[in-house]
Amino acid sequence: MALSLLDMKKGTIVDHAHEEREDGVMLTRPIRRRGIIVKVVGNGHDGVEKLYVKFKPDQEAEEVKAKELNRVYPATSRVAQRALRRVLGQHELVGAEFQERVAPVKPRLQDSMELTKKKASALVEPEDDGDEEETYTT
């Protein structure tokens, strides 16, 4: 999918699939390069002047024309956010929010003076039939 103005944000994963010659003709590159936008020069609402894309972790970001790029993942996707954190050297879990897995536990009560009545135990106690024995007749 071609890169639109809304996709020209820091963190968007793109493919460098086309190349523009000096005479303005667009050619398909023999090898696509996948990279991530790390810097946007210009106002992201009205226009973007330059895009800097990083293609390899050990190289500096290159200036690439927006019309030569295709969008792979938008900047808001989870894949793009994780990739940007890796490229910038941040830990993936920094700033992440996790939901508690354990249900909240009711605090225990210590009542040494037995001011409140204890709850009845959950065990069922057998009934006392007395000393009577049943006799069976045949």
Q: For 74-128, write each residue's pLDDT tens digit.
A: 989 888 888 888 888 776 666 666 666 666 666 676 666 566 776 666 666 666 6
Confidence of residue 63 (pLDDT cuts 50, 70, 90): very high
Contacts of 8 (CB under 8 A, 6+ apart): 37, 40, 44, 48, 51, 66
Per-residue model confidence as pLDDT tens digits over 17-56: 888 888 989 888 888 889 899 999 887 667 888 899 998 8
Geometric angle at alpha carbon 49, from 46 and 55, rounded to 5°: 120
Check whether 1 has a pLDDT greater than 60: no
| pTM, rounded to two decimals | 0.63
Query: What's the pLDDT band for 58 if we cut at 50, 70, 90?
Result: confident
Reading the block at residue 104, the tokens are 């909240």
Q: State residue 82's pLDDT score.
A: 86
| Rounded distance between C-alpha atoms, residue 42 and residue 121, angstroms | 72
9 DSSP 8-state letter = S
pLDDT of residue 52: 93
* Dist. CA 120–CA 122, nearest whole Å: 6
Q: What is the pLDDT of residue 127?
A: 67
List the chain domain ranges. Answer: 5-88
Place of tokens 């536990």: 105
